[in-house]
Amino acid sequence: MLPSRGSPRTPSLPFRLRLAKSIVELEGACRFASDHSWNEADRARVEEIAGAFSDACRLEGLRESAVLARSLTCLMRLSRDQIVPIEGSYREKVAEVMASLRTMAEGVLLGTGT
């Protein structure tokens, strides 16, 4: 029986099997971009990974996580010239989004949340 529209569903096994690696990959790409002064190619890599992650979360019914990942893609679309004057706040926002995604992943993997 399919879950009703309002009830949360458990993410699929393939999604759960790839979730930890996906988060590690996204965190690593964010860290690399940050360490390399938000270079365009590095931001584009984060944007690509975050976009794919957002799509996967949306397909799995993890709407809030999909929105968070999509916001990360939007952050990566800022130019380096736009980032430099607000770099401290920018880093904080990227870290905040990643922390929320990590918390979601832990909940899914531990079976305590979706």
Tens of pLDDT along the chain (114 residues) come to: 344 444 467 899 999 999 999 999 999 999 999 999 999 999 999 999 999 999 999 999 999 999 999 999 999 999 999 999 999 999 999 999 999 999 999 999 998 765
Query: What's the predicted TM-score (pTM) here?
Result: 0.88
The runs of H, that is alpha helices, within 1-114 are 13-35, 40-59, 63-76, 80-83, 87-110
Q: How far apart are CA 114 and CA 48, in angstroms?
A: 23
Domains of the chain, by residue range, sit at: 13-108
